[in-house]
């Protein structure tokens, strides 16, 4: 049973290494998010990073939420045209 113990030990070490790496990554992401929010919450600090068309904290001036997505409309029209052509070819062949 020593091989089973060795595999169990190696698996435990692997789980520990993965969980340590995951927690380090999560801490890094959280710290980066906190740093970005602190910069964005101070308009004077955020001003050097300001781009035309954005507010001082980096948000866009115009919201692009809602409305129609032209990509889906064009794809839908294309599918309808293809279906129409298929129907016309099927009726013309009979």
Q: Please write the tens of the pLDDT for every residue from 13-72.
A: 777 777 888 888 888 888 888 877 776 666 666 556 556 667 767 677 766 666 667 888
State the first-to-last Cα distance of the chain, in angstroms, to the nearest integer. Answer: 75
Structural tokens at position 66: 């809602």
**pTM given for the model:** 0.33
Alpha-carbon separation of residue 8 from 19, 21, 38, 75 (angstroms): 16, 20, 45, 53
pLDDT band at 92 (very low <50, low <70, confident <90, very high): confident
Spell out the domain ranges in the chain. Answer: 2-93
CB atoms within 10 A of CB 58: 13
């Amino acid at each position: 049973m020593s091989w089973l113990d060795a595999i169990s030990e190696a698996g435990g070490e692997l789980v520990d290494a993965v969980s340590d790496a995951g927690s380090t990554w999560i801490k890094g992401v959280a710290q980066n998010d906190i740093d970005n929010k602190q910069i964005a919450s101070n308009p004077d600090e955020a001003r050097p990073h300001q781009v035309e068309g954005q507010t001082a904290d980096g948000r866009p001036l115009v919201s692009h939420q809602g409305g129609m997505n032209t990509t889906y409309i064009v794809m839908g029209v294309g599918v309808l045209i293809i279906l129409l052509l298929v129907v016309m070819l099927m009726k013309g062949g009979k």
